[in-house]
Amino acid sequence: MPCFLTSAAAREISSAVRESKSAECMQINSHATVGALRSGFVDRTPCLFGSTPCRDRVPMSTSDVLTADTVLRGGPVLDLSDWKPGDEVTDDWLAGRPRALAVRDGAIVALGPEAEQLIGPETRVVDLDGDTVIPGINDGHLHFTGYSVTTHTYVKMGTDIFTDLAQLPSFLTKDRIDASGWIRGHGWDELVLGRKITARDIDDALDANGIAGTPVVLFDWSGHSLSANSVALERAGITAATPDPAGGVIYRDADGGPDGFLTDAAISLMIAVVPPVPTEQLLDAYRKGQADLHALGITALTEPGLGPGHRALLDGSGSVEALDALADLAEAGDLTMRVSVLVLPNGTGGANAADVRKHLEAGLARRYDDRDLDPRQLTIAGVKVFADGTPQNGTTWHKQPVHEDNPPEHRCGHMVVVGDSDLDKVEELREIIRTVDAAGLQVAIHAIGDQTVETVIDTIAEIAPNSPLRHYLIHTTELYPHGWETLAANGIGACFNPVIMSTFVRFLPAERILRTEPIRSTLHAGVRPGITSDAPVVPPDWRPAVVYAVTRAHVWEGEVPAEDAEGITTLDALALLTSGAAVRDRAETWRGTLAVGQRADLAVLHGSWPSDDDVASLVDRPIRLTMVDGTVVHSA
């Protein structure tokens, strides 16, 4: 456990970097060393946050830089500045790591022995006792709003506690009715329960508890489906006469009436009548969710979907109002997480270019322009688009039939974009990508089935090859053979979700599992794929994701076959969770590694970073300390 040896508040010392005559901004760059500082000169370089380049050398007094604000010492510092794909942890490699790191004004100013030279009487010293310093984790696909709300305001119904439908009454008790008069639950899985939850199931559970007539909505684990009881269906006006919305399905009973289970775009019909979480309750949930994430060493995330499409995603909490609430949190100084937002014109079904264009022209992506925000803390980076849905709903698009429960003509699935035919949907997707790219925004596209993945990659390559906006795919689950080469050749990114991969491969034969989430092939082709959680679909803990990405054992019964060569090294996984994510965020010049000059976003992991053979031990290694911009945001 790190020990803080600190005196009174650090005294004010003049900045190591002085303003030039032209008042251009500068920071100590990655080549600045203690020796350079003590020489009385420092190289002027472009500001890490995009200021006008500065080239001359500025004389400075050695008395200006004498001490650091914080020094961490006594354990390996995995700065990752020299990482290459395929690097492995060995005793020699660990022995060559710096064992100290110095922070001043939120930036890393020295590593190794030079860092310890900057310890002064008022420097806070963290004795690592052999623990490991890693760059702060950047989860590139974490629904911060949905995670915070479902974790801290809803009835928890995850697969760790809800394994039998007979348990349902125990979750739907009188004390679970919230201030709006509803019961809201989250996390159940039909594959664990054996079938979907119906309105009748919920009604019977309420009757057993003496609270019949209470409206109930239960969101499943995937964020694409929900179950509601008869009262909730009535309030939503969903009847036998209600047609399935484009991109969604209302499941029916034998008489043609709604049975209570809704998927993709159809969930918006229910979410429209569920009272929103009050703002103060939402802000409180954000604070609690943020604390959860910092305790895992997470310092940055991409919030993948806030906006008008919120009614067809997760629990519907990711609204425009939530977009504004995040800004309120930041302006109040309570947001310590770095958050990049993808706005959401459409939800999990019914994506169309007309809506995207309408919302962008109305200023959806410029909503923060007039707010007093640091873009390094909170920014709108791009637009999220759902090209297809989920395997369990039969809405992923494949080259071969995989959806046995679909009608015969739809066994290959389909995209959830608006259109009467597959060709219409492809053309609509093309227009959406063109619209977002023309607006100067990053486009991030949910794509799971191999036909969807190929269509998205080819379309981005056609419209915006090697774009500086760095467009990318979300999930990229069934990347077709050699698709990674097309990604690399066209500068297109990709995110993977190792923890939830097993839920997708259940629908595939063994030969297709071999190329599901091919992280190694993608990485070695020159792409920096993301390793992400998709919380609250699964917990935000990144440590199991590292284990799965390295071993791939979770998708096979028994031993992993020798022909499965898609496992990566533990160092690869760490790099993709940190520096690789910063590249996707277009932030690699100022965060993502622990090189001198980068912002001090870091975490202290108990013990040593594991080798590939010892990767399973990572799951039990707690995070002892988390810093964002040099400020401690978690300590255990």
Question: Looking at 255, 271, 287, which one is the last position of a domain?
Answer: 271
* Tokens linked to 289: 């969710």
Residue 149 lies in a domain: no
Q: What single letter denotes the amino acid at residue 446? A: H
The Cα 532–Cα 508 span in angstroms is: 22
DSSP labels, 528-549: --EE---TTSS-S-SHHHHHHH
Residue 601 lies in a domain: no
**Lookup result for tokens 């690699």:** 588
Please, which residues have CB within 8 angstroms of residue 148's CB and are 6 or more apart in sequence? 282, 285, 286, 288, 289, 290
CATH code where residue 247 lies? 3.10.310.70
**HEC string of 39-53?**
HCEEECCCCCCCCCC
Verify that 435 and 350 share a domain, yes or no.
yes
The Cα 476–Cα 472 span in angstroms is: 9
Q: In the chain, what is the straight-line distance between the N-terminal and C-terminal CA atoms, in Å?
A: 7
Please, which residues have CB within 8 angstroms of residue 144's CB and are 6 or more apart in sequence? 286, 289, 290, 293, 301, 303, 326, 337, 339
The per-residue pLDDT for 327 is 98
Residue 143 lies in a domain: no
Residue 371: count of CB within 10 angstroms of its CB: 13
Please, which residues have CB within 8 angstroms of residue 407's CB and are 6 or more apart in sequence? none
The per-residue pLDDT for 504 is 64
Verify that 200 and 53 share a domain, yes or no.
no
Residue 603 lies in a domain: no
Verify that 424 and 289 share a domain, yes or no.
yes
Verify that 76 and 206 share a domain, yes or no.
no
The per-residue pLDDT for 607 is 97
Q: Residue 129: left if φ>0, alpha if ψ -120 to 50, beta else—which one?
A: left
Residue 115 lies in a domain: yes
CATH code where residue 104 lies? 2.30.40.10
pTM: 0.87
Closest CA to 117 of 66, 166, 74: 66
The domain of 62 spans 3-136+626-635
* Tokens linked to 515: 């190329």
Residue 434 lies in a domain: yes
Verify that 24 and 83 share a domain, yes or no.
yes
The Cα 109–Cα 208 span in angstroms is: 64
CATH code where residue 331 lies? 3.20.20.140
Verify that 217 and 348 share a domain, yes or no.
no
Q: How many domains, in total, are found in the chain?
A: 3
Verify that 19 and 74 share a domain, yes or no.
yes
Q: Residue 247: left if φ>0, alpha if ψ -120 to 50, beta else—which one?
A: left
The per-residue pLDDT for 515 is 82
The per-residue pLDDT for 64 is 53
The per-residue pLDDT for 40 is 34
Closest CA to 193 of 210, 174, 177, 171: 171
CA distances from 179 to 173, 264, 471 (A): 14, 27, 42
Verify that 258 and 351 share a domain, yes or no.
no
The per-residue pLDDT for 36 is 41
- How confident is the chain (636 residues) per 10-residue block, as mean pLDDT? 34 31 32 38 33 33 68 98 96 96 98 97 97 98 97 95 98 96 96 96 98 97 93 98 92 97 93 94 97 98 96 91 97 98 94 97 98 97 96 89 85 94 97 98 96 98 98 95 96 95 71 89 97 95 97 86 95 98 97 98 98 97 98 97
Verify that 392 and 525 share a domain, yes or no.
yes
The Cα 559–Cα 540 span in angstroms is: 27
Verify that 567 and 443 share a domain, yes or no.
yes
Residue 617 lies in a domain: no
The per-residue pLDDT for 616 is 96
Verify that 123 and 160 share a domain, yes or no.
no
Residue 609 lies in a domain: no
The per-residue pLDDT for 167 is 98
Question: Looking at 243, 271, 299, which one is the last position of a domain?
Answer: 271
Verify that 167 and 104 share a domain, yes or no.
no
